[in-house]
A and B are shown apart, each in its own frame.
Chain A
Amino acid sequence: GIQVEQSPPDLILQEGANSTLRCNFSDSVNNLQWFHQNPWGQLINLFYIPSGTKQNGRLSATTVATERYSLLYISSSQTTDSGVYFCAVANFGNEKLTFGTGTRLTIIP
């Protein structure tokens, strides 16, 4: 099956800093989603982005499908950005997502 690798596994930043999270995948995909899991365990869908670039406030994401990676950018980090960020992918004809193991982001005040 498709493999998903996320880096870095852990990231600790000061409030106000910017960060870049990376997701590499091993095969062609037609579905790529980024999620944020808050400290209480709730997973929120941030982006559906199988290709191209999207922005939502301080967050943006870029997927380069031909090179099999996606990047999540967080600017001007806030403590509420803390949590685990997951990338998940699926390839053509597959409705089931394969998740990476996540990047744990900690924002220090």
Chain B
Amino acid sequence: DVKVTQSSRYLVKRTGEKVFLECVQDMDHENMFWYRQDPGLGLRLIYFSYDVKMKEKGDIPEGYSVSREKKERFSLILESASTNQTSMYLCASTDREGRYEQYFGPGTRLTVT
């Protein structure tokens, strides 16, 4: 079974803080994704990584950066958290061969006060 884990289930941070969200997958997947989910908007892609040290902007990358130093780990960084970044953050992974089925972590609900 594919397992995708995220470092925190719930997180509360203050405006202006630097925030790190970590995601780890154990299936040797090449592709990893960060999404945010907001009511009525579905899932929106923030960043995508297709290999170590490789990244590509998604639909809403402003205010975020990412890091992928190891294949199994993909980090989302909020350089200076703002209240409009309060959201549910979901990490996913998929392999590059075959069907690209996406497997999701449990999510991190971030509140910025």
Give the interface of A toward B (CB within 8 A).
Answer: 31, 33, 35, 40-45, 48, 86, 88, 90, 95-97, 99-102
Contacts and interface: CB of A to CB of B under 8 A. Distances in A.
Given A95-B31, A102-B42, A41 B102 contact: no
A6 to B, nearest CB: 9
Contacts of B88: 41
Interface residues of B, number: 26
Nearest to B43: A99
Interface stretch (B11-19, B68-76, B93-101): B93-101
A95 B50 contact: yes
A101 B41 contact: yes
Contact of B101 (A41, A42, A45, A99): A45
Given A41-B88, A43-B90, A97 B107 contact: no
B92 to A, nearest CB: 8
Contacts of A41: 88, 90, 106-107, 109
Interface of B: 31, 33, 35, 40-45, 48, 50, 58, 88, 90, 92, 94, 96, 99-104, 106-107, 109
A42 B31 CA distance: 19
